[in-house]
Amino acid sequence: MSGAKILVCGRADAPRAAVNSDFTRFCSRCAHRVMIAPSGQRLLASHPDFEIICEECFTRIDVPEDAEFRVSVSLADEIRTAIPNPFLRRN
């Protein structure tokens, strides 16, 4: 998995979501619908080669000990201001 570019996303059925999350994408491993926060949407717009993986599948893959992880300030703000998941209230 060396050099892999992965965007880890919450599943669409999570109880909370970032405001303006996108619910149109799916995990590349299990095909579960995921939600992508605005910061992740911006990342994918400039780096469409990132693999989208739900948090559950991410816990099952081997991550090298020297792997780099980044959390943007905007993602931290999105987590702090999360709202009840609107996708759960759809028709």
Q: Is it the case that residue 30 has pLDDT exceeding 80? A: yes
Task: Please state, in angstroms and rounded to a whole number, the distance separating the CA atoms of residues 69 and 4.
Answer: 11
The per-residue pLDDT for 76 is 85
Q: What is the pTM of this model?
A: 0.84
Burial 8-39 (b: 16+ CB within 10 A, else e): bbbbbebeebbeebbbebebeeeeeebbbbbb
Q: Is 67 helix (H, G, I), strand (E, B) or coil?
A: coil
The per-residue pLDDT for 67 is 76
Q: What are phi and psi of 16, to 5 degrees?
A: -130, 155
Q: Is it the case that residue 55 has pLDDT exceeding 60? A: yes
Those residues whose C-beta lies under 8 Å from the C-beta of residue 78, and which sit 6 or more positions away, are: 18, 19, 37, 38, 39
Query: Residue 49: which pLDDT band, with cuts at 50, 70 and 90?
Result: very high
Domain boundaries along the sequence of the chain:
6-89
